[in-house]
Chain A
Amino acid sequence: MAGVVTAAPATATGPAAIPQGPGAGSVPWLLLMPATAALVLLFVLPIGYVLLLSFTDPQVSLAHYQRIFAVPLYTRILFNTFATSLTVTVICLLLAYPLAYVISRRNDWISLVLLICVAVCFWTGFIVRTYAWLVILGNKGPVAAVWQGLGLGAPPQLLFTSFASTLGMTHILLPYMVLALYSVMKKIDPNLLRAAASLGARPNAAFRAVFLPLSLPGVVNGSILVFTICLGFFVTPILLGTPKDMMISQLVNQQIEELLAWGFASAIAVVLLIATSIVLAIYNRFVGLDRLWG
């Protein structure tokens, strides 16, 4: 009590007298505790366990890693994962750029409606959207019906192909790309394009010289988001895709569910984690991770 009483006049002398004792210094750390505990318990420990398993199950060795890179099937899956992610990213970018451009440049009901559509898409669960594709592309779905209605014979196999899986992932990840581009494009001062025009730039030249370079951070952000999410994508490829063009997370699932090969599955997961980390590290080196969300 005595300490409190003597401290009171000191704090009353002015607004600069912010308490700075050792007790006050520990308050921020206390506030960080719950989040830190949750991260350690739910994230660091399990990943550590996965890492441990990949070296120790069933015995201590690097055999799992050697197998991933030695067996052509697995390197093909690894390559396929990266190739699919890249394809999805590029298609997303090509579709999203004009859309984000229109939404960010127009200031009317059209841009509002488009933005709402993208947001609704974004908030609708990706499992729901994946099942929607199951219906649309299925044997009795609308695509097949139109195909037969046009008299083109038996409908082609759409479902359970890498086409379906790429289509589904593109659809699910498109809003990420649109929003990443939109947040950057919205900040581009419209006066810059007016200035460019007044300085003699035709619309195409103004776009190339001014708008496109200034929108590049959005392109990088969106691409990184889509690409890294795609690398580990599981539900959509497994529901819409084919085991022939397996993605890496499907392989993990298969190893655990069907073969109970925890050690090998862990090693694959570690490879995926490292690959994703490398992509993010490159991004961090050149752009900065803190700017990933705009």
Chain B
Amino acid sequence: MSDSYLRLRNIVKSYDGISNAVDDINIDIAKGEFITFLGPSGSGKTTTLMMIAGFEDPTRGTIDLDGKDLTVQKPYQRNIGMVFQNYALFPHMTVAKNVAFPLRMRGAPRADIGRRVAEALELVGLSRFSERHPRELSGGQQQRVALARGLVFRPDVLLLDEPLGALDKNLREQMQVELKRIHREVGITMVYVTHDQTEAMTMSDRVAVFNQGRLEQVAPPLEVYGRPLTRFVGEFIGDSNFLQGRIEAGANGKLAIDGIGPVCAASELGAGAPAGPVHVLIRPERLRLIGKEPRPDLVATVQMRVEGTVNYGDSLLVMGQSGQIPLRVRIAGMESGDVREGRTISVGWCADDMHLIPGS
């Protein structure tokens, strides 16, 4: 990205000097962007966040904010807010005192503090609770207080470390919407850490996928979902079918899929696609159930024996085998017809439904 605001360059973190918890991370985050660090636990996303906050020092590499080196600053010198998973509200202070804390620490004038605390509580919809103590609030309310406290001093960046992890599902979805609204209203740069792919997909401008200390891909949610750069990203985000295939030299848009045969993949393959083994990703909702009428648009059809179904109401997930290949098919609820365990169905896909990732 050209308009880089928060810039991480070649960040390495090693605790033991042998293995790297974070291994050569490079990200450019734009001003006002909502970026999510997504990955399984132990993938280095939280460690990276801690290095931006200043609670961990990178072993190597630089972190710049607006062109200035951040790594030479102590956490309290960086103008970076942080929201923790367990809220980390000060239990001995009222909501108002909690939110006023960063302003007091900066020596803001008293009248100013009162006004800005009121504004911040208004923003998160907690004006009525200013004199309560944190323990008198629900988890969702406490997290809003933490949010108000992290925003009230107008930080350059707000870091959120799995902030919704401790909330139940309904509240989590409500808070996701709320967080997006606040992000729109305040326009502050937010770095959000989560292992929940749904959160990452629904909230982010871009998603950075971490795996084993490395960055696998940084891209907008739809691109991460539709055009993953690695097999890990394809499997970690969303439901997936992976077939093993091969592009032969000079095959001119032809792809050989193991157990299925040659398939035309013209739209995915440029004329000069390099030969070699490829992973073929087909999302379950891109596999189409074939009825009686002919479908000339399909590049492949296979017979699949149904071994199990999960009904989600709006859709039906069908799990089964086509020869030796396990397949997952998601069909819209209305089209599911009489798909049942033990039956054999025909499914097919178009060239556009495949995404190819080089490798074996």
Contact = CB atoms under 8 A, between A and B. Distances in A.
Interface of A: 189, 191-192, 194-203, 205-206, 209-210, 213-214
Interface in B79-94: 79-82, 84, 86, 88-92
A201 B105 contact: yes
B65 to A, nearest CB: 14
Contact of B82 (A189, A194, A203, A210): A194
B101 A192 contact: no
B222 to A, nearest CB: 32
A198 B92 contact: no
Contact of B76 (A189, A200, A210): A200
Contacts of A200: 76, 79, 102, 105-106, 153
B55 interface: yes
A184 to B, nearest CB: 12
B53 interface: yes
A205 B81 CA distance: 17
A206 B271 CA distance: 63
Given A191-B84, A192-B90, A198 B153 contact: no
A199 B91 contact: no
A206 B78 CA distance: 15
Contact of A199 (B55, B74, B86, B101): B101
Given A194-B55, A198-B53, A213-B92, A205 B105 contact: yes
Nearest to A194: B55
Nearest to A190: B88
A212 to B, nearest CB: 10
Given A201-B101, A209-B101, A214-B91, A195 B75 contact: no
Most buried by A among B78, B91, B149: B91
Contacts of A192: 88, 90
9 contacts: A189-B88, A194-B55, A197-B74, A198-B54, A199-B153, A200-B79, A202-B76, A209-B101, A214-B91
A29 to B, nearest CB: 36
Given A194-B55, A194-B75, A213-B92, A199 B84 contact: no
B88 A195 contact: yes
A219 to B, nearest CB: 14
Nearest 3 CB-CB pairings of A with B: A199-B102, A195-B88, A198-B82
Contacts of B106: 200
Interface residues of B, number: 26
Contacts of B74: 197
A206 B74 CA distance: 14
A191 B46 CA distance: 14
Contacts of B86: 189, 191
Given A189-B86, A192-B90, A198 B80 contact: yes
Nearest to B149: A199
A203 B153 CA distance: 19
Most buried by B among A195, A197, A199, A202: A199
A209 B104 CA distance: 11
Given A189-B86, A196-B105, A199-B150, 12 more contacts: A189-B88, A191-B86, A194-B82, A197-B54, A198-B81, A199-B76, A199-B102, A199-B149, A200-B79, A202-B76, A210-B90, A214-B91
Nearest to A213: B92
Contacts of A195: 82, 84, 88-90
B81 A199 contact: yes
Nearest to B155: A198
B158 to A, nearest CB: 10
A99 B105 CA distance: 27
Contact of B75 (A197, A205, A214): A197
Nearest to A200: B105
A209 B92 CA distance: 10
A176 to B, nearest CB: 24
Contacts of B105: 196, 199-202, 205, 209
A220 to B, nearest CB: 14
B190 to A, nearest CB: 14
